[in-house]
Amino acid sequence: MKKRKFAVLLPLLLLTLGSCNQDLASDEVVKDISFTINKKTNEASVKGLNSSQKVVEIPNIVKIDGTSYNVTSIDKSAFASNTVIEKVIIPNNVKQIGDQSFARCTNLRYVSFGGVEKIDNFAFDRCSALVNVELPETLNYIGYGAFRNCSSMTDIFLPSNVTKLNGYTFSGDTKLRNVYANKLDSVSAYDFEKASSLKGLYYKSGQFSNQVNEKGNEYFLGLTANYGVNFEKENSDYYFVYDNETKTCDVSGYKKLDQTTFELPETTTFMGQTYAVDGIYEFAFYNSNATSIKLTKNIKMIGAYALYGSKITSFDTLEVNSIGSYAFANCEKLTNFNMADFVSGVQTYAFSSCTSLKDITLSKNLYMIQSNVFANCSELTSIVIKNTKMSQINDSAFTGCSKFKTIYFVGTEEEWSKITVSSTVTNGREVFCNHEI
């Protein structure tokens, strides 16, 4: 009888346990982000992404069947090997980023860390497009190899509670130039392995422990030792990429994510040095809410993807001389673009899919119209070419511009005849020479 009773009770017990486990954890999808839900603690963790999107904004709270769950962590390998993601916004509720969460996300360029406290092993390993990493003051732990092979990262600031590096942390970060720490007591021999551009290790106050100071070049592998230099991070609305040799810097991002209008500074001060702000770095305002950006005459360069997908409506280049690939691509609200005569280079796809751009006057110093520069500008009707010595207009420069019918050229017919122009550019379009501006 006892055996029979046990035989009956065991399935009931297993059924009860299974039911309890189901109540404790389940998977849910909210706005294409999948979550593991813990019903006992009312917490959720990010499990992955169910769609192909470039910008991922993780919510603070998810609401499922009328119940709210705090999103407190990102699971192991949640976004690993996702080559589409380019920007991630992590909210204040998320405290932990799991092992390899973003490993091999090779197009990930920007991360807003919110209130993260722990970044686990290899979390951003081989995120080769990451440029600026602004770690929050809430952070107290960085795991083994967390930023290994982030080969585009140039500067890193370690917050107050990060006192130890745990091995291979920045190994292979070949563009890493400066490390700024509030307090750092311990590093390993491989934390900066192959960080071949490293020039300085700086602290804000106090001294590094003897373990750091004594190891010197052995641990930093060729670093020209710059210890004991006090620094203050500038209280600025922007992030910058600094060039210590020329004392210039580029705007590489902005801190107020909901900001719409920007007035770029002429200079910025860092570590007691004044730097001239002379460029907009790659992806600086990528997919931003920017409707207006006011430049200074110091700005000479606008990098690739710098304003891609932004809400910019008009733009004046002032003394800019180069515009990178895709710099203004997908700016669907851009109607007025003043290309000043300083511009001498515009790279491929720079204005592609600017569907509100109707006409544009090119710089008199622009010698070539590159491939796909105006591709799919569906409202473009005409262009004015001011350079009488232009050498070439590539055949795909105006692909998908169905309303583009007129080319105005300030030079003579003879000068026009010297330009290498594909028949696909002029086919069905009129060219008017001797145009007066």
Tracing tokens 């993807």 back to the chain, one arrives at 305
Q: Residue 218: in which H helix or E strand, if any?
A: helix 210-220
Question: What tokens does 412 get?
Answer: 């003579």
In the chain, the amino acid numbered 412 is T
Residue 407's domain is classified under what CATH number? 3.80.10.10
DSSP annotation of 291? S
In the chain, the amino acid numbered 418 is K
Residue 98 lies in a domain: no
Q: What is the pLDDT of residue 204?
A: 57
Domain range enclosing 390? 238-432
Query: What is d(CA 412, CA 367) in angstroms, rounded to the nearest whole number?
Result: 16
The count of C-alpha atoms lying within 13 angstroms of the C-alpha of 420, restricted to the half-sphere facing its C-beta, is: 8
Residue 399 lies in a domain: yes
- The partner residues of 294 in beta bridges, in order of sequence, read 263
Cα dihedral 149→150→154→156 (10° resolution): -100
Residue 25 — φ and ψ, nearest 5°? Answer: -140, 140
Question: What tokens does 118 get?
Answer: 């722990």
- CA nearest to 327, candidates 300, 352, 292: 352
Residue 227 lies in a domain: no
From first to last of its 437 residues, what are the pLDDT tens digits of the chain? 444 444 444 444 444 444 444 455 567 888 889 999 999 999 999 999 988 888 899 999 999 888 999 999 999 999 999 999 998 999 999 999 999 999 999 999 889 899 999 999 999 999 999 987 889 999 999 999 999 999 998 888 888 899 888 889 999 998 887 777 777 777 776 888 888 777 666 665 444 444 444 444 445 544 444 443 344 455 578 888 777 788 898 998 887 778 899 999 999 987 677 899 999 988 889 888 999 999 999 999 999 989 999 999 999 999 999 999 999 999 999 999 999 999 999 999 999 999 999 999 999 999 999 999 999 999 999 999 999 999 999 989 999 999 999 999 999 999 999 999 988 899 889 999 999 98
Residue 185 lies in a domain: no
Contact yes or no for 310/285 (Cβ under 8 A): yes
CA separation (Å) from 14 to 9, 10, 18?
A: 9, 6, 6
Residue 419 lies in a domain: yes
Task: Report the number of distinct structural domains present in the chain.
Answer: 1
* Displacement of CA 153 from its chain's centroid (Å): 11
Q: What is the pLDDT of residue 17?
A: 45
Question: What tokens does 109 get?
Answer: 């360029």
Q: What is the pLDDT of residue 75?
A: 96
Which pTM does this prediction carry?
Answer: 0.67
Contacts of 329 (CB under 8 A, 6+ apart): 305, 308, 309, 349, 350, 351, 352, 353, 354
Residue 233 lies in a domain: no
Query: Strand 200-203's sheet: what is its strand order?
Result: 132-134, 155-158, 178-181, 200-203
Query: What is d(CA 416, CA 414) in angstroms, rounded to the nearest whole number?
Result: 5
- Report the chain's terminal Cα–Cα distance, integer Å: 105
H-type helices in 221-314, by residue range? none
Question: What tokens does 377 get?
Answer: 């500008």
Query: What is d(CA 159, CA 264) in angstroms, rounded to the nearest whole number?
Result: 26
Q: What is the pLDDT of residue 186?
A: 72
In the chain, the amino acid numbered 403 is K
Q: What is the pLDDT of residue 199?
A: 66
- Please list, residue by residue across 32-67, b when 16 or more beta carbons sit within 10 angstroms of its beta carbon and e when fewer do: ebbbbbbeeeebbbbbbbeeebeebebbeebeeeee
CA separation (Å) from 102 to 28, 75, 230?
A: 20, 10, 33
Residue 275 lies in a domain: yes
Residue 326 lies in a domain: yes
